């Protein structure tokens, strides 16, 4: 299923660099409002670098447009203020703040001034959060930390949610719950750019998929089409 509307987020001909080393080559992709797009690829293929290009964490050449505004080269906090919510792959929870503090610290209206997400709404969608309110972030399990980090990012009412390998290192039961959560967020109208190595998880939740390999986009299409391309899956994803 492909959701409608013009691109909310668009990367056009993006090259990314770590110092003088180039990590992305002419990467182009789009995310429309209300859509879940997955970026698939092996370890080191360039998924996280693509996310960092959007989040303002690496040097880029090319255009990164958010609602038609070029955000390439802006500092990370300015990109966040414009409506990009970034959940990095290493679950960047604040270990010495409680779960409630981790959420409260992120409160801000969205770029349109609206407040869609509150702690109460998030505790309704993430029922696990309420009993953990007073627990230290660093005392949570990996899966709990992942959920808190996603919830914390939503507290900033972002237009776009970047989820970098959310299922990495989680037990299968947690991954299943996480997939249900991502689907719930889609139903709430959240636009998500997701990166994954877990193809089953990704194909379950996403509308469209890109495959990245060695910093180049090798494939673009709906997940239904990708399911019918076993050669591509095998070549780039070893599935």
Partner 1 sequence: MTHSTALRSIVRRTEVTWGLVAAAVAAVLPLIYPSTFLLNVGPQILVMGVFAMSLNLMLGYTGMVSFGHAAYFGMGAYTLGILMQKTAVGLAASLVLAVAGAALLALVIGFFCVRLGTIYFSMLTLAFAQIVYTVVIRATPLTGGDQGLIGGIPVPPVRLGPWTVALRSPLAFYELTLSLTVAAFLLAKVLVDSRWGLLLRAVRDNGDRVEFLGASARGLRLSAFVAAGGFAGLAGALMALYVGGAYPDFVYWTKSAEPIFMVLIGGMHTLLGPLVGAAVLVGLTAVITQYTSLWGLVLGAILVAFTLFLKVGLLDFGAERWRSRAAAAPGNPPVGGVARAREAK
Residue pair 235/199 in contact (Cβ under 8 Å)? The answer is no
Stretch that binds partner 1, among 98-106, 167-175, 192-200, 215-223 (CB under 8 A): 98-106
| Closest CB 142 distance from partner 1, rounded Å | 10
For every residue of the chain, DSSP letters joined together read: ----SSEEEEEEEEEEEETTEEEEEEEEEEEETT-EEEEE--TTSSHHHHHHHHHT-SEEEEEEEETTEE-TT--HHHHHHTTEEEE-TT----TTSBHHHHHHTT----TTS-----HHHHHHHSTTSGGGTTSBGGGS-HHHHHHHHHHHHHTT--SEEEEESTTTT--HHHHHHHHHHHHHHHHTT-EEEEEES-HHHHHHH-SEEEEEETTEEEEEEEHHHHHT-HHHHHHHH--
| Closest CB 50 distance from partner 1, rounded Å | 16
Binding mask 146-175 for partner 1 (x = CB under 8 A): ------xx--x-------------------
Residue pair 123/81 in contact (Cβ under 8 Å)? The answer is no
Among 41, 46, 85, 143, binds partner 1 (CB under 8 A): 85
Interaction between residue 177 and partner 1 (CB under 8 A): no
Do you know the residue count of the chain?
Answer: 239
Residue pair 113/78 in contact (Cβ under 8 Å)? The answer is no
| Closest CB 101 distance from partner 1, rounded Å | 6
Interaction between residue 81 and partner 1 (CB under 8 A): yes
Binding mask 199-218 for partner 1 (x = CB under 8 A): --------------------
Stretch that binds partner 1, among 62-70, 94-102, 171-179, 182-190 (CB under 8 A): 94-102
Q: Look at the block and give the residue holding tokens 């990164």.
A: 64
Binding mask 109-148 for partner 1 (x = CB under 8 A): -------------------------xxxxxxx--------
Nearer to partner 1, 153 or 208 (CB): 153
Question: By rule CB under 8 A, what count of residues binds partner 1?
Answer: 31
Interaction between residue 17 and partner 1 (CB under 8 A): no
Nearer to partner 1, 42 or 135 (CB): 135
Query: Site residues (CB under 8 A) for partner 1?
Result: 55, 75-77, 80-81, 85-86, 88, 92, 94-98, 101, 104-108, 134-140, 152-153, 156
């Amino acid at each position: 299923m492909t959701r409608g509307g013009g691109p909310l987020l668009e990367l056009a001909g993006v090259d990314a660099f770590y110092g003088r080393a180039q990590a992305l080559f002419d990467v182009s992709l789009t995310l429309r409002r209300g859509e879940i797009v997955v970026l698939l690829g092996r370890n080191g293929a360039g998924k996280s670098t693509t996310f960092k290009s959007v989040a303002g964490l690496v040097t880029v050449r090319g255009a990164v447009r958010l609602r038609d505004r070029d955000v390439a080269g802006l500092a990370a906090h300015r990109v966040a203020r414009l409506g990009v919510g970034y959940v990095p792959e290493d679950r960047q929870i604040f270990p010495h703040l409680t779960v409630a503090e981790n959420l409260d610290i992120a409160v801000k209206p969205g770029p349109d001034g609206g407040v869609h997400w509150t702690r109460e709404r998030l505790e309704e969608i993430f029922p696990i959060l309420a009993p953990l309110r007073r627990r230290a972030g660093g005392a949570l399990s990996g899966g709990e930390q992942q959920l808190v980090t996603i919830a914390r990012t939503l507290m900033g009412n972002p237009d776009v949610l970047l989820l970098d390998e959310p299922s990495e290192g989680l037990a299968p039961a947690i991954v299943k719950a996480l997939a249900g959560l991502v689907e719930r967020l889609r139903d709430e109208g959240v636009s998500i750019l997701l990166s994954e190595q877990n193809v089953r998880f990704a194909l379950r939740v996403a509308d469209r998929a890109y495959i990245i390999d060695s910093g180049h986009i090798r494939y673009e299409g709906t997940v239904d089409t990708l399911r019918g391309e076993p050669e591509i899956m095998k070549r780039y994803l070893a599935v």
